[in-house]
Amino acid sequence: MREDSSGANPMSPPTLNLQARRQAQLRADSIAVFQDELARLQNEGVLTLDSSQQQAIAAHHTSLLASYVRDFAIDPTRRARRLSLGMRVASLLGALALAASVFFLFYQFWGYFPEVAQVSILITAALATCGLTNWLQQRDTTGYFSKLAALVAFTCFVLNLAMIGSLLNVAPTDKALLPWAALALLFAYSGDQRLLLVTGILCLIGFVAARVGTWGGIYWLHVGERPENFFPAAALLLALAAVGWHQPYPGFAATYRVFGLLTAFVPMLVLGHWGYGSYLDLPPDLIEGGYQVLGFITSGLAVYFGVRRDWPETVNTGTTFFIIFLYTKFFDWWWEVMPKYLFFLVLGLIALLVLLVLKRLRRSPGQATR
Amino acid sequence: MNVLGQQRWLLTGLGVIVLTNAIVLSAAALNRIGEPESRLLLSERELALPYAGGNRRANSGLALRLEWRVALDGDSPHNIAYARYERQPDWLDEKRMSDLGFDTRKGAATAEARQAFLRQLSRPALIVFELAGPAWQRALQQARDNADRHAAAAAANRGNREFAEGAKAARAFVVQEEAEHTRLFAIDAGSDAATLRQRYPERNRFLILRGTVRPAERLRDGQWTLAGRLSEIAIEEIHVPYTQRAILDELSSTPQGKPHRPAPRYEVQLAVGQRLEPWIERIARLPDQPPPAGDIGSN
């Protein structure tokens, strides 16, 4: 059987093969760009193809795109892409609404069933929606419906644990975040779901921070009162971003990096203005100053490594926080003493300076070779 | 293909759900195995129906709210009412806070030392509750003494509306203390359940539950001391089993008559298991009480 460059066998039955689908979409995009450029070259008289060559290319592309549409439900044209974006938004909103509906449905009626029935319904719902998601992932080539089902399944599992906890009067525990994270990440990796990846990452951040706080003897629900509890979670996420298993999932490693940086920068920003919330037994002013300096250094390092390794999301996050750290510091120093026009002029000039530095970094020899 | 094959990830997902549920259900079963750690007969005073509101329409489940308080020095109704919310008992002093793991080494002599103490976060603790014991008797006596003082002041200032109102409020407060306010008092805290149970062996009078303690400071007679506050109980809402909720459904759908009569309408047998997690064993309707002699309709 013939295999095309997407790596998929066009004769095979439609299955959701994420990598092959992505490659097929990339090829379709390349075809569109090629057709545009070819038309331009022909108009400018640089290249002339005879009609048989044009027909051969057009026939090949038409056949290729038809097979991609059939096998992977890709968007063959720009119009289809725009519609596809609309479908993604509708799918996301539908998933959120359905998840909320399931949530309130349980709460509305659970009191009318005996406990054994309640527990059975909760567990069965979680298992059934998990199975449904898997079934849809094998059949839904577009991925919209399986993504929707995955979010509903995750909601059912959250409800499952939360409500059994209420039914049996089990004390709330941070340990519930671990299976929630596991299931969310499983759905994310099996269905290429960025929303559930973020959900899983948030559960993981909560769990690690709560564990760190608990090891220090504090009650887990108050973990946010010591922002330093989040630093180990940030380190874990940045380490996870470096492992290789995200390779087939574009954007996943970047998501880990962004959340790793946010989990580090937000606590630094808080501690930079609220030294009282630190574990360190030092004067609050000293702690605040220390975290402000640390914030500048780490956000600067994020920009540096982001540029070096070609991680745009890391550059953007680092730049954003560098400017936030800078602006909050300027506010502390100058807001009261400077005329407002001068204050905002300084901010504007600083932004221009940052732009110049980034422009220089972009043109650096290391980047030119990439 | 995906990193996980479709079948493999399905099995993993189902495994996560089944394993997690198995752990939760085993923990709940373990809690209820054998004789309960404590078993008390409480009433509506200690286990109140949820507040009426929009949320109840959206949630058909029913849970009773555990009402508890701490004893405080002081004898005015205002002070006693304040104690119900403040939850900073006198017994939770510097030594007890140190026993619970808080660092009290810097003492309370300077503002900096107290600030360093207050910076510490809540810690989990086991809290002992006493039902209708000496703490409640003291609170009751405080309310009666307070009513006597107000009555004497009103008698000495006959015709003065302010004194008359004060005496009326104090008298009403006695009725509430006798028949309405919770009799469940937090009387001790520790970190080891066995030690606490040894100290309070009556399992039908002393309840041990998980909670949290937060550092606080106290100013008394011009002197600052280190103290603690009972910030929360791990399980303050206790689920009502399906088989027991008929009585409560009937009560919560029946509006209370006017004037309000502060008498408990039901009693609840509450058990606490090996993991110090409570559950309701039985709910029974109490006979209607005759209206009290004092007029408390204005409260």
Residue numbers in B near A123 (CB within 8 A): 17-18, 21
More confident of the two residues A158 and B220: A158
Q: Please state, in angstroms and rounded to a whole number, the distance separating the CA atoms of residues A303 and A1.
A: 48
Chain B residue with the nearest C-alpha to that of A15? B1
Each residue of A347-365: b (16+ CB within 10 Å) or e? beeeeeeeeeeeeebeeee
To 10 degrees, the CA torsion angle through B117, B121, B124, B129? 60
Determine which of A11-25, B124-138, B244-258 has the lowest per-residue pLDDT on average: A11-25
Contact B279 A169 (CB under 8 A): yes
CA of A132 to nearest chain B CA: how many angstroms apart? 10
More confident of the two residues B179 and A259: A259
Q: Please state, in angstroms and rounded to a whole number, the distance separating the CA atoms of residues B1 and B7.
A: 12
ipTM of model: 0.83
Each residue of A162-176: b (16+ CB within 10 Å) or e? bbbbbbbbbbebbbb
Contact A190 B28 (CB under 8 A): no
Decide: B229 and B96 in contact? Cβ < 8 Å.
no
What is the per-residue pLDDT for B257? 47
Contact B6 A138 (CB under 8 A): yes
Q: Please state, in angstroms and rounded to a whole number, the distance separating the CA atoms of residues A147 and A168.
A: 32
Write out residues 65-124 of A within 8 Å (CB-CB) of B. Answer: 104, 107-115, 118-119, 123
Q: Is B116 on the interface with A (CB under 8 A)?
A: yes
B55 band by pLDDT with thresholds 50, 70 and 90: low
**Which H or E element spans position A329?**
helix A312-334
Domain locations along chain A: 18-72, 79-170, 226-370
Residue pLDDT, tens place only, A141-157: 677 788 888 989 999 99
Average pLDDT over chain A reads: 84
Residue pLDDT, tens place only, A62-85: 888 888 887 777 777 777 777 777
Nearest 5°: CA angle at B65, between B62 and B67?
160
Contact B10 A172 (CB under 8 A): no
Strands, E, within B234-273: which ranges?
Answer: 237-239, 266-272
CB atoms within 10 A of CB A27: 18
Q: Is A348 on the interface with B (CB under 8 A)?
A: no
As a whole number, mean pLDDT of residues B124-136 equals: 94
Which amino acid, one-letter code, is at B274? Q
Q: Is B24 on the interface with A (CB under 8 A)?
A: yes
- Which residues, in sequence order, are CB contacts of B281 under 8 Å at separation 6+? B39, B269, B270, B271
Task: List the one residue out of B274, B295, B278, B269 whose CA is nearest residue B238.
Answer: B278
Residue pLDDT, tens place only, B227-246: 999 988 999 899 999 999 88
- Chain A and chain B share a number of CB contacts under 8 A equal to 132
CA of B18 to nearest chain A CA: how many angstroms apart? 8
